[in-house]
Every structure is written in structure tokens, then in C-alpha cells.
Chain A
Amino acid sequence: MELTAEEKAMLDGAEGPAAAKAMDLLVRYGEALGADRLVETNNVAGVIGSSTPFMADYYAEQGAVGRDAIFSRFDLDSDEVVDIPQAKAFTCHLQTRVEPNNSAMFGLPDAALKYHQETQEYSASKGVNMLNTCTPHAAGNTPVKGEHCAWMESSAVVYINSVIGARSNTEGRESAAAAMLTRRIPYWGFHTDAARLGQYRVDVEIDVDSVMDWGMLGYYVGNCVGESVPVITGIKMTPNLVRHKHFGAAAASSGGVEMYHVVGVTPDADTVEEAFGSNKPKETFKYGKAEMKATYENLNAKATGTDVDYVMLGCPHYTIEQVWEAARLLDGKKISGNTRLWIFTNQSVKQVAVRNGYARTIEKAGGLIMTDTCSAMAAAAPKGTKVAATDSAKQTHYLPAIVGVEAWFGSTEDCINAALSGKWQGKAP
């Protein structure tokens, strides 16, 4: 890999030992990828500085004690412990594993909450901006078209690449940490023009309109194309932020989609020709009524119990529009005594929800607004949950494996109805 003079100097320690270790990791990573060089980035989103007591104990047993030691050994994959300086690049923290105000409901011991709080303070002390959300682009860090980013969180990366036209690969915790200290990331994949061109075509033959429709289409597309770039045609109704959010999260879960084009909608796809550029479609898939039904059945294949213990909304984190919708559906009603309703979002949206009275409406109905995390991240559901319901294809995909529950997938309204009645009554649309 070719390094600039500045990058070589960083590797040799000119900006201190932590930047040198970060550069060493970026070089190993870039060479593994087959990248020729690095690219400058001043927009990083990761889980910088987060850790668990297990990690702390593991390194402490080897004589590496403290937060900088964990950062050195794990985040920078360095055998040596180095002092961690302030962030060099603008850096945001993604979602965490802990709900800060309701941790007892997640079964989190006080000691673990305290450990988490110290972790958060450590990250903030390094200049990491604690957005604590999987959707930084909806919470204060919206990249622009062409901006090179080093983001983790597959649902956020697919959004900023596809909807905004920013340029990011799906980074991992270690590469994001290295980018934060060096302002560099390998110039590979979605940083380059060629990788952003369409590879597969998906012709949509039915109306795709609701958030649920977009979630199912995303899940179908991810299953069809894996990690490749799909070009979606036939969309008649322009999807908004929420629809893109659910589509991308689903496609990134069932496959590994990090970038997509919707012809007539996304920035580099005014026409099919523009979306594919010099590429020829490898294959064309169609999405009609049969495919939609099969996707719905696939998502719901593992759920059998119709008594719903837990309704989980907010994957990816709910926007204020979605909290508003949930509040309207719950207004003046009471959820079933056998069911819990948790709605996950970030702290800025929650603040608006409180200001607008939505939080009160939701709480009066028996639901709760949670922040910073989600059930999959926290690996927790309300105590005793056997059957869950969610409006997120992504969460439906992950919950059974992570929390060990059955999960139903449906519309937001299906989910709220399940919370109110305690029964799953969702049907394929």
C-alpha cells in the first residue's frame, strides 16, 4: 500500500504512539483488503471506547489495566499499551448496550451500569460525540454527498451511501477507532466510483408504499443480492427517510447490502443506465405479489405463539415521525396487562417526544420510550418474554438468535394492536 509522507510519518510515530498503532492497523487492514492507499476522512461513527467488564478483566489479568489499555489492546489491536489522545477526526458514538434510565428493566446489575457510565465518560473525554444512536444521520451528523466517512452500523452505512451519496464502507470497531486517531481509512470499496455502480436489477411490480412494504422489499433484496449493489426499478411513490431506513436495515441484515440505487429516487440513479454505468446487470429479480408473500412468510416462519409478551419498536431507532405515529395509535388506550411495549430512539428525539406530549401519551397507555440501545444491542427483552412482535425486519432477523424469543413481523399498527390486545393478529398485506 502506498502511503503519503504524512501517513508514513504517523506510522513512524510523529504524532505519538497511539496514531502509530492506529496507522499500523490501517496498513494491515488495507493490505488485507487489497487497497492501494488510504483516503482522508473527517467523519467517523463507531463504538469508540466502549468495553465490557469481561474485556477489562481479561486485559487486566495480563497486566494491562485501565481504559487506555483496553483501547490499545482491543480497539487498536496493539500488543503494547499506549496513551490514547483526543480524537483527531470528528467522531460520533453509535448505539450502546445499556439503557441509561431503565437499566433494571433490562436486568442490568448496578455494577454493570456504573461500568457503562464510566465508559461513556471515558469516550466523551476523548472528544467522542455521544449521540448513542444507530441513526447518527437523523440525530446531528448528516454527511453530504461525496463525503468520505468511516462509519460502523450497517443500517447507517447503507443509508448514507445510498440515500445521501456519502462514501463509507461498513467499518468495524477497530478500523473506526484507528480512523478517529488518524483521519484515514482504506481507499477501497464504496470510496471508489466503480464499487458504487449497480450489479443486480430488481424490478418491483407491485405498489411498495408503507414502512412495512419497504422493510419486506429490503429483506427480499438482501436475500437475492447478498453483498452486491442492487438497482431497484418500478417504484412509484417516493420513499421518505423512515422507509429508506427500514429498507436498508433489512437488506443489510438478510444480505450484506451497503449501497443500493432506487431509480428516480437516489442521487446516482436518475436512470437505470446511470445506476449501472459500465456494469451489466448480473441477474434480474422480480418482486411481485408472490415474492412479497413469500418474504412475509419467511420473516414470520419461526413464530408460533399468538400471545405476545413484548412489542419492540425502534429498529433502527425511531424518528420523531414514528414516535408521533405510535402516540396517535395509542392515544387514550391501554395496552394489555400481559404485554410490554418499548419504543427505542435517541435522546434528542425523546426530548422532542416529551416536549410534544407523545412520551406522556405513550406512558399513559403503558408503553415506555427507551434510548441509547435496543433489545438486540442490550441482548435483553422484558423478563419472561417468549414471544415478541416488531415492525422491523432487521430486529425480527436478530431477536430469535440474540434474545432467544420468537418474533413476529408486521406493520407498526399490527404491533400496536398486539400491544393493546396481547394477541398477534397480523396478516400478510
Chain B
Amino acid sequence: MTDRPSNDKIILHGRGVVDGCIEGEALVTKETISGWGGVDSMTGTIVETRHELCGQSFAGKVLVFPGAKGSSGWSAAFHMARIAGVAPKALVFNEMTTKVALGAVVMRTPSVTELDQDPLDVIETGDWVKVDGDNGIVEITKGAKGG
């Protein structure tokens, strides 16, 4: 079955942060993410040793996370990931900060926040997620890899 009935989808409504609409596989963490010093911008990997995703790549994923923490080099670290071709495809997050706002803007990845349900409760790693930054909508297909 390639077409799933629409009631299999979970729709969350929030505020668009960066415009654009894209879909991809979710990578979810309940822990905030450090930019500079926490990720390897050349490979798109989380390297913070204390982080639950340490060693995992966010390249081409829809990154679902509580928010940004740590150094002010957050935007530059993710900006570098963009020019290295290993940035996340989209961002879904809860806590607005200057770090994550600027990072999302310069990565130019569709991004949504302030959702009506906590995306960390709804979305699991591996879910297929469509992020519509123009309208502030996140559409989740559970445990499916597309179509």
C-alpha cells in the first residue's frame, strides 16, 4: 500500500519560523543541542559526549528537538553544516532562542515552533514528517518512510 489514509496522519499546528515546505525522516531527541563544540559541521554529526545522540548524524533529517543550548557559535556551526551539505532538512523545536532562530534562518531550512502539542511526545525517530514553514504546520506519518 503506497497511499496511506489521511487519518493515519497526525497534524500539529504552530508558528512558521523559516519559510518553505519539505518532508523527510525524523531524528528526535529530548535533549537540547549544542552547536559549536557539540556538532561536527563537516559531517553533520552530534559529538557532545554527554548527549544521547552522540555519534548520530542529522544530515538530511527532520531534526525534532527541545531547542538550542551552549555557545553563541550555534548558528555558524549549523551554517557551516549547510555549506558542507550536511545540514538537517527541517527543524521542529519547542523553545525559541536567538541561537536556534538565527541558525534556522541562515540554514534556510523550513522550521516550525510553538506547536499545539509537544512534538517530542508525538514524533519518534524514523517517523516521516512534513514541515510546512509557510503555514506553521507539521504533518507526521508514524513509523513510515514516505509515501
Contact = CB atoms under 8 A, between A and B. Distances in A.
Interface stretch (B1-9, B21-29, B69-77, B116-124): B69-77
Interface string A18-39: 0000000100110011100000
B64 interface: no
Given A172-B72, A227-B67, 7 more contacts: A29-B105, A33-B101, A157-B72, A170-B97, A170-B99, A174-B76, A226-B32
A169 interface: yes
Interface of B: 15, 17-18, 32, 37-38, 47-50, 67-76, 79-80, 83, 95-99, 101-106, 108, 111
Interface in A396-412: 397-398, 400-402
8 contacts: A29-B102, A32-B111, A157-B72, A171-B98, A172-B99, A172-B103, A400-B49, A402-B47
A402 B34 CA distance: 12
A401 B95 CA distance: 24
B32 A172 contact: no
A29 B101 contact: yes
Contacts of A398: 37
Contacts of B17: 32
Contacts of A252: 70
A167 B110 CA distance: 30
B37 to A, nearest CB: 5
A154 B98 contact: no
Contact of A174 (B50, B69, B75, B95): B75
A256 interface: yes
Contact of A401 (B32, B47, B104): B47
A28 B19 CA distance: 10
Contacts of A169: 98
Contacts of B102: 29, 32, 171-172, 174-175
A154 B75 CA distance: 13
Nearest to A190: B98
A277 interface: no
A233 interface: no
Contacts of A302: 49
B97 A172 contact: no
Interface string A186-215: 101100000000000000000000000000
A402 B37 contact: yes
Contacts of B103: 172
Interface string A139-171: 000000000000111100100000000000111
Interface string A309-332: 000000000000000000000000
B73 A172 contact: yes
A34 B97 contact: no
Contacts of A28: 18, 105
Given A33-B98, A174-B106, A256-B32, A74 B69 contact: no
A252 B73 CA distance: 13
B33 to A, nearest CB: 10
Contacts of A170: 72, 97-99
A186 B98 CA distance: 10
A25 B102 CA distance: 9
Contacts of A397: 50
B72 A77 contact: no
Contacts of A243: none
A339 to B, nearest CB: 23
A199 B111 CA distance: 27
A63 B69 CA distance: 35
A32 B101 contact: yes
Nearest to B38: A401
B72 A255 contact: no
Given A32-B104, A253-B70, A188 B37 contact: no
Interface string A39-79: 00000000100000001001000000000000000100100
B73 A256 contact: no
B47 A256 contact: no
Given A29-B105, A32-B104, A74-B79, A189 B69 contact: no
Contact of B98 (A25, A153, A175, A376): A175
Given A32-B17, A32-B104, A171 B72 contact: yes
